[in-house]
Amino acid sequence: MKQKVIALFTVVFAVCAAFAQDYDVLVAGGGPAGIGAAYTAAKRGAKVLLLEKNGRLGGAAIQAHVGPLLGGVKSPITQTICSRLYKGGVDFQKLDLLAWDLLQEAGAEVLLHSYVLEPLMEGKRVTGLKVQCREGPRNITAKVVIDATGDGVVAAAAGVPFEIGRKEDGLTQPMSIMFTIDGIAPGKRVGCGSEEAARQFKIQGKSWETIVQEEIAAGALPPEVGVIRLYGATVPTMNIVNATQVNKLNGTKSADLTKAEITCRKQAFQVLDVVRRHLAGYEKAYISGMPAVIGVRETRRFEGVARLEKADCLAGRKRDDAIVHSANFCIDIHNPAGAGQAAQQETFVTGEAERVRPYDIPYGALVPKEVDGLLLSGRCISAAHEALASCRVMRIAMATGVGAGAAAAYAVQNNIELRDVPPQKLKLLEENGK
């Protein structure tokens, strides 16, 4: 018995010791960008550890019930990951486990419940991360750190300059709680996922948009809930609902997040009431899934060596220094100041988001100015407010992670600075890129 206890302690000690070792690449955050980064860097031979503060991988999709998977991109690696993770849509119950299996197969280590506090720094170089593990704070060193925290927690603490919000007033896109409703009568589920769809979908001659506006006028809904978007889900009697929102709050501040959580959770029940009263087959609908945290669309956008501009997206700019090829999603700005979508744009009259042409994202948008040893990925890359409104969606966010993972592995293996990595040599248009 005594020997078994000693053996068990030896194994536990060995596992702990392994985590205390240096890594080639540390990935902070386990959302689409972090998964893409850890998978690609590990597949390319780097020793990788991904750190996630919560108990599940998947990022906003898992924590904030965000779906469907949006955005186009020319990236066979992203395609491979997506085909494993999002089979038939975003499955909120399974996505994290599928991601876990994928990362295990790739050879990346993962630590959940590990909150990244700040970078370890030597001058202007990031040399690792200070992490709050459940057992206490721990310093973990690495040759490269990839910030995939969405909010850019590492980059901000490393002193990389950033902007928040749109140029004129610093307001960001609103935060929202997406939730699921179930209990819809079989065959009665409504699909109505955009402003345009809300205008087209009619109940006894009246559009869904008009019905929602009348409910706002009657005080049953707050004015910020300008549209109730109903998406399909993996279960046929279920909708994912995208309707709640709060404006003029900052997703990097606890007091603002607290206000946002409570406001949107209350809105969700108001939305349920409207849906039950107006949609046939929804009389017994109920909220089946309220996410753990609110969805944050936009916070810090860091200063990189290069920046993705709105004009690049509209013109479909192609580049020699591309790290993401042919990204494709409209400039989807949810109104920072009130209800609706695509405010401040010429097309606001019709509520339609501006279309883009498939554009490339430059590698420099992942390389922070002045700080070494660090790459940006996901929704905190260097991009203008309008450009981020396109490249923030999950498939494109993941592709930036894939690019960061490939660049990190290349820098480690060739013993060069991240800013000297030639993106043309990363073979990102090949499946394995080896």
Ligand X SMILES: Cc1cc2nc3c(=O)[nH]c(=O)nc-3n(C[C@H](O)[C@H](O)[C@H](O)COP(=O)(O)OP(=O)(O)OC[C@H]3O[C@@H](n4cnc5c(N)ncnc54)[C@H](O)[C@@H]3O)c2cc1C
Considering the complex, state which of residue 20 and residue 292 has its C-beta at the smaller distance from ligand X. Answer: 292
The residues with which 126 forms a beta bridge, in sequence order, are 121
How far apart are alpha carbons 111 and 94 in whole angstroms?
A: 18
Q: CB of 397: closest distance to ligand X in angstroms?
A: 4
Give the tokens for residue 393.
């969606």
- Residues with Cβ within 8 Å of 269's Cβ and at least 6 positions away in sequence, in order, are 287
Site for ligand X in 361-380 (CB under 6 A): 378-379
Strands (DSSP E) found in 165-228: 179-182, 202-203, 206-207
Q: CB of 125: closest distance to ligand X in angstroms?
A: 20
Stretch of 142-150, 259-267, 340-348, 418-426 lying at the interface with ligand X (CB under 6 A): 142-150
Member of 397, 404, 406, 428 binding ligand X (CB under 6 A): 397
Q: Are 153 and 203 a contacting pair, CB within 8 Å?
A: no
Q: CB of 54: closest distance to ligand X in angstroms?
A: 5
Member of 98, 384, 394, 402 binding ligand X (CB under 6 A): 394
Total residues at interface with ligand X (CB under 6 A): 38
Alpha helices in 87-160 (DSSP H): 95-106, 153-157
Strands (DSSP E) found in 249-340: 286-289, 300-302, 322-328
Stretch of 81-89, 149-157, 218-226, 257-265 lying at the interface with ligand X (CB under 6 A): 149-157
DSSP 87-107: TTS--TTTHHHHHHHHHHHHT
Site for ligand X in 102-131 (CB under 6 A): 115-116
Stretch of 11-19, 148-156, 216-224, 274-282 lying at the interface with ligand X (CB under 6 A): 148-156
Alpha-carbon separation of residue 198 from 194, 213, 226, 362, 364 (angstroms): 6, 11, 10, 36, 39
Stretch of 11-19, 145-153, 283-291, 315-323 lying at the interface with ligand X (CB under 6 A): 145-153
Q: CB of 264: closest distance to ligand X in angstroms?
A: 9
End-to-end CA distance of the chain: 49
Site for ligand X in 11-50 (CB under 6 A): 28-34
List of residues contacting ligand X (CB under 6 A)? 28-34, 51-54, 59-60, 63-64, 66-71, 115-116, 148-150, 153, 176, 178, 295-297, 378-379, 392-394, 397
